[in-house]
Chains A and B, each alone.
Chain A
Amino acid sequence: MSENQYPKYFQPEIECASREELTKLQSERLSAMVKRCYENVPFYTQKLDELGIKPEDITSIDDLSKLPFTYKQDLRDNYPYGLFAVPNEELVRIHASSGTTGKQTVVGYTRYDLDGWASGAARAIVAAGGHVGDKIHVSYGYGLFTGGLGLHDGATKLGATAIPVSSGNTARQIQILQDFDSDFLCCTPSYAMFIGETVRDMGIDPKTLTVRGGIFGAEAWSEEYRQKIQELLDIKAYDIYGLSEIAGPGVSYECEEQTGMHVCEDLYYPEIIDPDTGESLPDGTYGELVFTCIGKEALPLIRYRTRDICMLTREKCSCGRTLVKMGKPHGRSDDMLIIRGVNVFPSQVEHVILTLGLEPNYLIEVDRINNLDVMTVKIEMTPEMFSDTVRDIEALEKRISGTMQSVLGVSAKIRLVEPKTLARSEGKAVRVKDLRKI
Chain B
Amino acid sequence: MFIKQLSIFAENRKGCVAELAEVLANAGIEIRALYVADTSDFGIVRIIADKPEEAAKVLKEQGHTVSLTDVIAANLSDAPGGFARVVRTLSDHDIDVEYMYAFITRVSGNACVILRIKEAQQALDVFAKSGIAVLTSSAVYNM
Residue pair B116, A388 in contact (C-beta under 8 Å): yes
Residue pair A418, B11 in contact (C-beta under 8 Å): yes
Judge if A316 is at the interface, Cβ distance under 8 Å.
no
For A404-424 the 0/1 string (1 means CB < 8 A from B) is 000000000001111111000
- With a CB–CB cut-off of 8 A, which chain A residues contact B69? 388
Roughly how many angstroms separate A391 CA and B41 CA in the complex, as a whole number?
13
Residue pair B63, A388 in contact (C-beta under 8 Å): no
One of B63, B65, B66, B98 near A389 (C-beta < 8 A): B98
Residue pair B63, A418 in contact (C-beta under 8 Å): yes
Residue of B nearest to A383 (CB): B65
Residue pair A388, B7 in contact (C-beta under 8 Å): yes
Judge if B42 is at the interface, Cβ distance under 8 Å.
yes
Judge if A394 is at the interface, Cβ distance under 8 Å.
yes
The bracket for how many chain A residues form the interface is 10 to 19
Residue pair A419, B67 in contact (C-beta under 8 Å): no
Judge if B75 is at the interface, Cβ distance under 8 Å.
no
The count of residues in chain B whose C-beta lies closer than 8 Å to any C-beta of chain A is: 21
One of A394, A418, A419, A421 near B39 (C-beta < 8 A): A394
Residue pair A390, B65 in contact (C-beta under 8 Å): no
- With a CB–CB cut-off of 8 A, which chain A residues contact B63? 418-420
Consensus secondary structure, chain A interface: loop
Judge if A382 is at the interface, Cβ distance under 8 Å.
yes
Roughly how many angstroms separate A418 CA and B98 CA in the complex, as a whole number?
23
Judge if A386 is at the interface, Cβ distance under 8 Å.
yes
Judge if A199 is at the interface, Cβ distance under 8 Å.
no
Roughly how many angstroms separate A64 CA and B41 CA in the complex, as a whole number?
55
Among A377-398, those with CB < 8 Å from B are 381-383, 386-391, 393-394
Roughly how many angstroms separate A388 CA and B35 CA in the complex, as a whole number?
12
Residue pair B46, A382 in contact (C-beta under 8 Å): no
Residue pair B116, A393 in contact (C-beta under 8 Å): no
One of B11, B42, B67 near A388 (C-beta < 8 A): B67
Tell me the A residues contacting B by CB distance below 8 Å.
381-383, 386-391, 393-394, 415-421
Q: Which 8 A-B pairs have the closest CB atoms?
A: A388-B7, A388-B69, A381-B65, A386-B65, A418-B11, A381-B9, A390-B37, A420-B63
